[in-house]
Amino acid sequence: MNSRILTLTLLIFFILGFGYTAKAQRSIKKSLADVTMQQADNPKLVVGIVVDQMRYDYLTRFWDDYGDGGFKRMVNEGFNCKNNHFSYAPTYTGPGHASVYSGTTPAMHGIISNSWYDKNTKKPVYCTGDENVKSVGSQGAEGQMSPHRMNVTTVTDQLRLHTQNNGKVISVALKDRGAVLPGGHMANAAYWFHGSSAGDWISSSFYMDKLPDWVLQYNSSDAIEKYKKPWNTFKNIGGYQESGPDNTSYESPFNGEAAPVFPHDVPAIWEANGSFELLKVTPYGNSITTDFALAAVVAEGLGKDQNTDFLAISYSSTDYIGHKFGANSKEVQDTYLWLDSDLERLFDALDQEVGAGQYTVFLTADHGAVHVPAYLADNNVPAGYVSSAVIRGELIKFLQFKYGNTALLENISNNQIFLDRDAIANLGIELEDIQQAIAQEIISYPSVFRVYTASQMMRNAYVEGMPKILQNGFHQKRSGDVLFMFDPANISYPKTGSTHGSPLTYDTHVPLLFFGKGIRKGDTNERTRIADIAPTVSALLGISFPSGATGNPITSVLE
């Protein structure tokens, strides 16, 4: 009897154990299948595009002149975030690229401007400058760059970490900061353009000891020299009704030109404008960037295996041209038509190299731009110019009168005032008191619109409006003692060309387009933020968000 019970018991355990094992095996197989499916569903390549100084209305103003394969393809096949903004100031190139790729603001990532006054060394520092690395591909200091001043990871870093460094990251831009910051701390390579008499793509020892053979071959070819040709309009200039006259006082001509008008004879004014540097201030700079980015896709085999790769492209010529000719110029309109053609060429090549529907693209900008204030004023719009030298002079007189010591002022830059903390302590003055006194003084100056102290920024948690935008750009260790902003459309800048940097909508409202694998078709007028881009891409790829991310995935974008 006992043997029967024992046998029956063993049989039951055998059956249950077999069933459990089979269930466990099925569960394991399902998990593996899910992982495989997720990998298969990920895009082979993500392409991040930042257009330097692109106002949102460049997408809509020039719409009828665009072709079907560039901007229109992204809008028609992808998702358009129509109300996309920067949520901090100052709105410059360095902070813009860092924010796009880190999913946060300067308050967290630390890139508070292109250059800023370092309170420890008492000297200006450049956002990507690094004396501890060497130039690769040039003999000068133009390659001494790295992302060491950016305190957080980027979405590109997170991709590298997630794939055990198997997913490649390549970053390309004419500007060093437009390549270094998007590439993050772990990029396989970041390349930028060294103009002058060289006309080469270079890098830094932060990434490599020497340029790869394909880059050396590219630099030794005529791929760049072929753009030494006149800048003629992409279409008949008579059809450019979305911009002002060709010759206005709001633009500045190139050296050697009698007037800022088409065609611009690049070969004739070559030497007078820095040789290869001149190409940056033409649409050809964007074409050169596209050429090199596509060469990188082929040479590096991007999008060719099961690990997602990342290509970061920044188009810098739009910024150079905007600064020189202004937001309402024929040159800006023409530049965007050329860029649209370059985007079409880029997407067509990716269709062939990676596969149509196998890659994902986002396109945004690092900041917008103000219309030339002189042009606005001539059209009865409040606008004007501010002299930084006058502000400094008035502030020095105030410090001498009130405290008898002008050495209290160390620096004024990026609309921030830096004070000498040691000198303040020696005079027995409370830091917060002198900050407040200076704030009360400069708010009385013409064209100064808002003023806040560092103490206010550190004490309060602003939730909306200009204070919140300024606070998002305020870094406790790196920012100044007093922050100020000018009246709308008032700038400290020459009277020709457009600039940027303010917390106002002409500088914060920029495009955000997604298209490709994993992206819905549609659009939204809901407000989105630059800091949402990296979390959205991270969610698409199933990877961790960047370490300092404060944005959120835009769920309406994702399938």
pLDDT tens series, the chain, 559 aa: 444 444 444 443 443 444 444 444 444 344 333 443 444 589 999 999 999 999 999 999 999 999 999 999 999 999 999 999 999 999 999 999 999 999 999 999 999 999 999 999 999 999 999 999 999 999 999 999 999 999 999 999 999 999 999 999 999 999 999 999 999 999 999 999 999 999 999 999 999 999 999 999 999 999 999 999 999 999 999 999 999 999 999 999 999 999 999 999 999 999 999 999 999 999 999 999 999 999 999 999 999 999 999 999 999 999 999 999 999 999 999 999 999 999 999 999 999 999 999 999 999 999 999 999 999 999 999 999 999 999 999 999 999 999 999 999 999 999 999 999 999 999 999 999 999 999 999 999 999 999 999 999 999 999 999 999 999 999 999 999 999 999 999 999 999 999 999 999 999 999 999 999 999 999 999 999 999 999 999 999 999 999 999 999 999 999 9
CATH architecture for the domain at 41-372+501-557:
3-Layer(aba) Sandwich (3.40)
Catalytic residues, by residue number, are: 93
For the purposes of burial, counting CB atoms within 10 Å of the CB of 466, is it exposed (0-12), middle (13-18) or buried (19 or more)?
middle
533 vs 555: CA distance, rounded Å: 11
Task: Give the chain's end-to-end CA distance (angstroms, integer).
Answer: 64
C-beta separation of 364 from 49 below 8 A: yes
Nearest to 337 by CA among 405, 245, 242: 242
Residue 61 has phi, psi (to 5 degrees) of: -60, -40
Q: What is the pLDDT of residue 150?
A: 98
Q: What is the pLDDT of residue 426?
A: 93
91-127 b/e (C-beta count within 10 Å ≥ 16 → b): bbbbbbbbbbbbbbbbbbbbbbbbbbbebeeeeebbb
Q: What is the pLDDT of residue 45?
A: 98
Helices (H) and strands (E) in the chain, counts: 20, 18
Cis peptide before 90 (omega within 30 of 0): yes
C-beta separation of 329 from 250 below 8 A: yes
Q: What is the pLDDT of residue 40?
A: 56
Q: What is the pLDDT of residue 357?
A: 96
In single-letter form, the type of residue at position 8 comes to L
285 vs 293: CA distance, rounded Å: 12
pTM, whole model, 2 decimals? 0.92
Q: Where are the domains of the chain?
A: 41-372+501-557, 387-445+448-486
CATH architecture for the domain at 387-445+448-486:
2-Layer Sandwich (3.30)
Q: What is the pLDDT of residue 1?
A: 40
In single-letter form, the type of residue at position 438 comes to I
Helix runs in 227-386, H state only: 277-280, 284-299, 317-325, 330-350, 373-378
Q: What 3-state DSSP class applies to 175?
A: coil
Q: What is the pLDDT of residue 525?
A: 98
H/E stretch holding 123 reads strand 123-126
Mind giving me the DSSP string for 342-367? HHHHHHHHHIIIIITTSEEEEEEES-
C-beta separation of 83 from 466 below 8 A: no
